[in-house]
Amino acid sequence: MILKWTAAWYELDQTIIVGDKDWFYLPSNENNHSFFNELYQSNSFIRKKLEIDKISHPVLGDVKGIVAIGLDYTVYLADGTVLEVNAEEEPGQIYNSSLIIDDWTFDVEVSILDDADDIPEDRTLKDAIRRYKGLLGLTDASWAKE
């Protein structure tokens, strides 16, 4: 299944990383194949057990992950490039780059998991950060304040 992930910015988005298996929020409308953002609004959503299989963007290409923790998002490209993106004052502005992205919508291939046994039991940000760092092969990151 292919879902859309579109940045809402301001720490309103779900972190997605290839290989992650977790509960994710999706709109309850079956015709809306996107990740749910703006979780603080009263729109209805459902939780699904998913594995992130692939992330791609029409300009950036294949992506290893998008970390939406804090007011700067970090996008890890498959080629090893890391983009720091402002998510508050100038949403979508990439730091230290002349690259301009007008549309922050990504295609995300997912598998729906029927078995909850392989879903991480951690529910704290600290545990999620450890999991994200492991999936991305990182020992440290600016967003990884444990």
- At 125, the pLDDT band (50, 70, 90 cuts) reads confident
Can you tell me which residue has the tokens 């970090």?
A: 74
Which residues, in sequence order, are CB contacts of 110 under 8 Å at separation 6+? Answer: 1, 2, 3, 24, 50, 51, 52, 53
Work out the number of other CB atoms within 10 angstroms of the CB of residue 1: 11
pLDDT at 45: 78
Q: Residue 122 phi/psi, 5° resolution?
A: -65, 145
Delimit the domains of the chain by residue range: 2-136
Which pTM does this prediction carry? 0.88
The mean pLDDT of 33-50, rounded to a whole number, is: 71
pLDDT in tens, 60-103: 999 999 999 988 999 999 999 999 999 999 999 999 999 999 99
Evaluate if residue 126 carries a pLDDT over 90. Answer: no
